Structures are given as C-alpha cells and as structure tokens.
Structure 1
Amino acid sequence: MEEIHDIVIVGGGISGLATALALQRKGIKSIVLERHETLRSSGAAIGMFINGWRALDELGVGRRLREKSLALMEIQDVWIHKDVSRVTPCRKEGLRCLRRSDLIDALASSLPAECIRVGCQVVRIEPDPLTLFPTLYTREGEIIKAKVLIGCDGWNSVVAKCLGLAEPKTLRNLVIRGVTEFSKGHQFGDSFVRQFDDKMLFGMIPIDHQIIHWFVDWLPTSTDMETSTRNPDMIKELATAKLRNHPPETLEMVRNGEPDSLSLARIRYRSPWDLLLSDAFHRSTTCLTGDAMHVMGPFLGQGGAAALEDAVVLSRNLAMALRKGEEDDGEVTVLSDEEIKRRVGLGMGEYVRERRRRIALLGLQSYLMDLIYSGSNVYKLVGLVVLMVFFRGEMLKHTEYDCGRL
C-alpha cells in the first residue's frame, strides 16, 4: 500500500501529539504515526514548571490539566550525609506534577481521531527518487510519502538516524520511577522533596492530595545491571533495598507503587556541545523535536516542557513559512514542490536557530547538575564553578523561559 500526506509526524508521545495539536491550531493538518498499538504513557509522571504551562496554555489544554494537579509551594533539598537542607520557594502556579497519561489524553483528545494512527512502526526512510521528499517504509509493509517529516520518536529515533544524528550518550545512573495512590489521602504536603544520600537521590512530588510520584536515582553496581527492567516486583524489591535506611512510610509507599507505573531505565543525554554544534537537527523538509533532538537527564525536570516548547516554536515557524496568502480575487496560491521545499526549509531552519541556544543551555545545566550529584570531588568542584559562572546560582531561572505565542 502507498499513500501520500503533506505532514507526517513519527512518534505519538508528548512531543508528537503536541506538535500535531500546535499545527492544527495553526490550521495545518498532519498525521501522527505511533509504533505501539496504543498511545503509551510510560514514565509515570512529569513535573511541569511555568515555562511548560505557558506552552500548554498555547496548545489549549493548560486549564484542563491544572484541574488534575496540585500547585506546589516549594522544593525541599536535603543532603542526608551532610545534615544540610535548603528550601527553594516556587512562584505561584510555578510547579505542578502531572500523570503522563493525563497529559497524553489531553493532547490526543484535542485532535481528530483520524490524525493518529497506532500500530504503525517506521523502519526505514529514503528520499523519493523523483521529488526527493521523504518516503517512509513501515514494518507492516506500508509506503508513506510525506512532503514534510517531523521526528518526535524519542532518543532512539529512526528519523534522527536518517538525518545522521549521532546516538545519544548514556550516563552511569539508573533511575526507578513510580506512582502510588493513597485512597485516604497522603500526608506529604505540597512540597517537592529531594533527598541526596551518598550518590543516591530519592524524590517525592505530589500530583494531587491522593497521588505521589516518586523516583530513585543512583550509581549502579554490577548486580543492579542484571536486574530486569520490566518485572514490577523486582523493581520494587530493588527500590526498597536502595531505600532501606529511609522511614517505614517511604518504604510502604514504594511497595504500594502501581505496577503499570514502575520503570527502571538508564539516563540518556546529548552533550551540550552536540546540541550547540550539530548540523543534523534539520535537512530539507525533515526535522526533529523533543527527545529525538535533545534528550537530557532529568535533573532539571525540563525534558517534557522543552518538547512542548519545540511544538509551539516549530508550528509557529512552519505556519509563517507555509502561509500561502490570498490574491486580491480571493484565490489561494498553490505552491509547487520546489517552493514547498524552499519555504519549509526556511521555516525549519529558523526553528532550529531559535531553539538551539535554549536547548544547549538546558543540556549544559543538566550535565553540570549530574557532575555535582554523581561525579568525583574534582568534577563536583568543576561543575559548581561552571554553574556559578554561566547561571549565577539561579537554579530555577530556566523555568521562567517563554517560548512565545503560537
């Protein structure tokens, strides 16, 4: 089978759905190809600072999602082995935590059903020999020709490989994530709590008054590396073993984690210099967004928000580039294939230029935070010095960013 679409988005996660929704709000149709049989919400939950909420408001789903989340008042950092703590106030409405499933549902339900195709895995991309537009080949035997191709398919992106982007790097860290629901309500308040203890980080962030998102991040041993990444019972056992010195209520929370929410994974990232210098984020009428472009460690809580920003900025630039205009007699100008390539290329080029400095700074700050958290004493010192020089110690300054109107 062979079909033709103007804009194809590969990946039905946060990035892909947000991009499709942003394009729709600009009056541009697209189709989203998701390789799994259903839209997935792996990762349990996602923290969202004010910059992410600005993007969600532009997409028209911010109000709906605020009703499903609790406004957090502060971030509490505790260094257990040093008996040191720090409290950072959050600006009003500045930080909330969302279930990924709620975010995915809000984005997907705002799109026409025919815009999303599940169970469609792209395995190869080649330029059409005549038009040079991208041609996608799926595992199911379909051939899909696109005039515009947007890769939103995560760190292991088939579109990124097509563009020649290098594989992301892997940190030594392992991270377990989960969600626990308390039927009678929890007693953890409205603060985001992070506890640092000898190269291990434990965090709890309320989603609402009954649901807590929690995570454990540590430098693994060889035994840890052999642990299954899919078995919920083994994941819980490993998490409780790492938290054995924590209070009983913490261990009970982990033991009661929802099985479907549990995950164990390595942290992947693109280096700040790759983000700053790579020329493989865009070529002709193909480009990347979200983790496919700038996967980063979770130390800033900006992966999802940055993907939402991408969606707004890319759609704004594409709409400006593709605006056909109307002649005096009201007729719409029809663009030739060559004109589409020229205009889309300019729009994508402007998108990459606009986003590059932003994602490079986020990548740098996330990288420095990892050095401070898990590096040797020398690396910790280097990370602190560079962090102070580039960011002047303003740890939440990046959350004030405004990606602009759609």
Structure 2
Amino acid sequence: MEAVEGVVIVGGGIAGLATALGLHRLGIRSLVLESAESLRTTGYFIGTWPNAWKAIDALGGIGQILRAKHTQLTSIMTASLTSGDITADMPVNPTESEGDLYVVNRKTLLETLENELPKGTIKYSSKVVQIQDSDGFKSLHLADGTILKAKVLIGCDGVNSIVAKYLGLSEASSAGRPVVRSFVEFKNGHGLEPKLMLFFGKGVKFGVIPCDDHFIYWFYSFRLPQDKEIVEDRLKLKQHIMNTLGKVPDKIRSLIEETDAKNLEYAPIRFRHPWNLLWGNISKQNVCVAGDAFHPMTPDLAQGGCLALEDSIVLARVLAAALRGEPREDEQQRIQKGLENYSKERRWRSIDLVWSAYISGSIHIWDGAVLNFIRDRVLAKFLAGLFLKKAAFDCGKLT
C-alpha cells in the first residue's frame, strides 16, 4: 500500500532541515526522509557569513541561539607561506551589513533546526532507491520496501543526490585536490584573536579559525601527492601537512602538532560545473533540488552551507505561495510554476558562487615565484574582499 504525502524532502542535512523549518513556519507540513539511523552530525564547522545569517534569522528564533554558542570573527587575515608576510588584514565591521561572521558547529546547527521541527517530521532509516512518475505524483521506493507518493519532491540529498540524477543533472566533478579538516580543543583557552586566518603558497591553502574560546577549527587543501600512502595513513598525512606549512607562526604550527591524527578528516573536493547549472534542470514538474544536491562547490569561499540556507528560504517561500494559491487554479500547475520561479531566482546566484569559489581556490594554491608575487602582492586584498563581496546578499524573508 502506498502512503500519500504532500511535500517530501529527501535528505536531513542543512538544506533539508532548513527547508522543512521554513515550510513549518509558513504552516506547511513536510516529511524529511533521512537514510541514516539518526541525525547526521558528522563533519566539523561551517562558515556562516552575513547571507547565511539573513536566512537563519528569517527562520525565526534560532539565530540568537546559535550566536550565543559561537565566537564572532572580527577580521580576515591572509599571509604567504613562502615569505611569512601578512598580505591582507581586512576588518569585518559588526555594525555594518557584512558584520555577522562566525564559524558554526555543524552538529549544533542541525540539532537546533531539528529541535524547532514538529515531532515526526524526520523519518530516519529511509533511503530512497528509485523515483517513478505516478499520475502527477512522484512515487518513492525506499530500501525497506516502503512506497511513498509525493505531491512535491525536494532533493536535499547531497553531492550524490538521487533526485539530481532523476532531474538529469550531471555528476559532480573532481576539483583535482582534496581537503583535510580537523579541530583542536584547548581546555584552558587557545588565546588566538577572533580572526579568519588564511595562509597560501607552495600549492597549499591552510586556514585557521577560532570557533569559541576553546575550539580551533583548521583546514588544509593541497595538490594530491604522488605518494598515495600519505592520504591512507593519518600519521603520514599529518607529517606531510607539517612539512609543507612553510613560514607560519609557531603558535599556528603548534595547532597541527596538538591535533590528534585520528581526528583528521580527508575528503576529495567535488563541484558541479557552471555550464551544468546553466543548462541543467534545477526543477522539473513537481521536483527540484537544493543545497549540495543542486550546487556542490569547492569550499574556497566558505559558502556551501550559506548557499543551502539561502535556497531553503526561497524554496519555502515560493512553494508555500504555490500551495496556497487560488483554489480555482490547477494545483499541479501552481507547483510547477512556483518551482520554476525558484530555479530562476537561484540559478545565477549559484553559478556565480560555484565559479568564483573554484577560480579563487585555484589562485590560492598557485606556486612559483611569479604567480606567488601576483597573488600575494597584487591580488591579496581583492581575494580577501571577495569573501565579503559574495556574502553581501539577502535572500529575503519567508513571506
């Protein structure tokens, strides 16, 4: 027997839970299908820029909770791994529109979103294995044999999205470099200034970010070494990072020394080419995608989670308007037009950020005397300012 649902969201990550909460705030019930047995709280911290906080605040109430648990950053500093010189130090004015800059614990964000949702909104251990058309509905076949019929289907199921595949979007491509992420806890406090600190050079991008008074989050992006054992053995990977850090301050270097090799999270970087976003189907009939299922991107502008939060507000807004439209209008047509409006509104914004992140990330890991000089002496302030420029965006309110 098939169960019939109104709005079904595949994936219980940032995009999925934020979209569900946005719809809930507008009085629209949704069902979130999450393949894991419980809330996926893996991963460390995500950069939350002003555009993300506008989306978070639009969801009502949770912004104050999250700000109270994290440290606000006051500036963006970049430095050369080759010379050790500071190449840019750009203040972030908390009284201006670009003032909200934090690094938020991903687990805390997801738990906060979940706590605001009605009980039963998320159905765990629910992996979608097949999607079929069914008289205007979408028939979802789950791994346990359950079949659900959805009036609206939203794919928030990450970079390997089955919903994106159904829409015909191409698979995400390799960016040609991996990223290592980790964190260090200092029980007596780390003593670092609340700055986003970025170090470039020698084919390496290294970032250090205080999350609160005790936790430091850091990441390391690099060209894949020829010795594959380096990425398979965490101790060798840690030593490789230590050997390639170049001229960083001793206090920063000590962060890597203090990091337990078991806490190193290694992952290839993947993204969807802008031309796939330009020509591909973001929505079709009563189906659409959001978050990484829509626009997987390199982490070089720290905008992946921010863009997903923007998606959730726009999508909840247009979908609620479609579902509450004039009764005499065909509901399926209202839904299709609403999702088409969502696609139009989000397509170019996503293309801009995906491409800007990829290009800036490529420049960040330039190597060689001439290229290093151009990046560190000519482009440094532009690259630092790009973070704030791309974050100066308002997705609007829910209504």
Q: 2:5, 2:149 within 8 Å by CA — same for their partners in 1?
A: yes
Q: Partner of 2:313: helix, strand, or coil? A: helix
Q: Distance in 1 between matches of 2:144 and 2:261?
A: 31
Q: 1:73, 1:190 within 8 Å by CA — same for their partners in 2?
A: yes
Cα deviation for residue 97 of structure 1 reads 0.6
Cα deviation for residue 243 of structure 1 reads 4.0
Q: Distance in 2 between matches of 1:194 and 1:356?
A: 29
Corresponding residue to 1:115 among 117, 121, 127: 121
Q: Distance in 2 between matches of 1:334 and 1:256?
A: 65
User: What amino acid is aligned across from residue 396 of structure 2 in structure 1?
Assistant: G
Residue identity (%): 37
**Cα 1:51–1:373, aligned 2, differ >3 Å: closer, same or farther?**
same
Number of residue pairs aligned between Structure 1 and Structure 2: 386
**Cα 1:393–1:142, aligned 2, differ >3 Å: closer, same or farther?**
same
Cα deviation for residue 141 of structure 1 reads 1.3
Compute the RMSD of aligned alpha carbons: 2.7
Q: Which residue of 1 aligns with 2:156?
A: 152
Deviates more, 1:215-224 or 1:307-316: 215-224
Q: Which residue of 2 aligns with 1:165?
A: 169
Q: 2:325, 2:334 within 8 Å by CA — same for their partners in 1?
A: no
Q: Partner of 1:342: helix, strand, or coil? A: helix
Cα deviation for residue 182 of structure 1 reads 0.8
The answer for unaligned runs of 5 or more in structure 2 is none
TM value normalised by structure 1:
0.88
Q: Which residue of 1 aligns with 2:394?
A: 402
Corresponding residue to 1:363 among 354, 360, 379: 354
**Which gives a bigger RCO, structure 1 or 2 (Cα 8 Å, sep 6+)?**
2
Deviations 1:176-228 (A, max 9, x none): 11122110000211111011121111111111111111111100113247733
Q: Partner of 1:367: helix, strand, or coil? A: helix
Q: 2:103, 2:209 within 8 Å by CA — same for their partners in 1?
A: yes
Q: Which residue of 2 aligns with 1:374?
A: 365
TM value normalised by structure 2:
0.89
Q: Which residue of 2 aligns with 1:328?
A: none
Q: Distance in 1 between matches of 2:48 and 2:37?
A: 27
1:351 aligns with 2:342: yes
Q: Distance in 1 between matches of 2:260 and 2:93?
A: 31
Corresponding residue to 2:191 among 165, 187, 190: 187
Q: Distance in 2 between matches of 1:197 and 1:153?
A: 35
Q: 2:202, 2:367 within 8 Å by CA — same for their partners in 1?
A: no
The answer for unaligned runs of 5 or more in structure 1 is 326-332
Cα deviation for residue 3 of structure 1 reads 1.5
Deviations 1:29-77 (A, max 9, x none): 0011111111112320001111100100011211110001111110110
Deviates more, 1:361-370 or 1:147-156: 361-370
1:71 aligns with 2:88: no
Q: How does 1:87-102 map to 2 (within 5 A)?
A: 87-92=89-94, 93-102=99-108
User: What amino acid is aligned across from residue 91 of structure 1 in structure 2?
Assistant: N
User: What amino acid is aligned across from residue 79 of structure 2 in structure 1?
Assistant: V
Q: 1:194, 1:201 within 8 Å by CA — same for their partners in 2?
A: yes
Q: 1:168, 1:269 within 8 Å by CA — same for their partners in 2?
A: yes
**Cα 1:285–1:367, aligned 2, differ >3 Å: closer, same or farther?**
same
Q: Partner of 1:188: helix, strand, or coil? A: coil
Q: Partner of 2:42: helix, strand, or coil? A: coil
Q: Which residue of 1 aligns with 2:294?
A: 293
1:40 aligns with 2:40: yes
**Cα 1:224–1:173, aligned 2, differ >3 Å: closer, same or farther?**
same
Q: How does 1:183-222 map to 2 (within 5 A)?
A: 183-222=187-226
Cα deviation for residue 318 of structure 1 reads 0.8
Q: Which residue of 2 aligns with 1:313?
A: 314
Cα deviation for residue 255 of structure 1 reads 4.8
Q: Partner of 2:33: helix, strand, or coil? A: strand
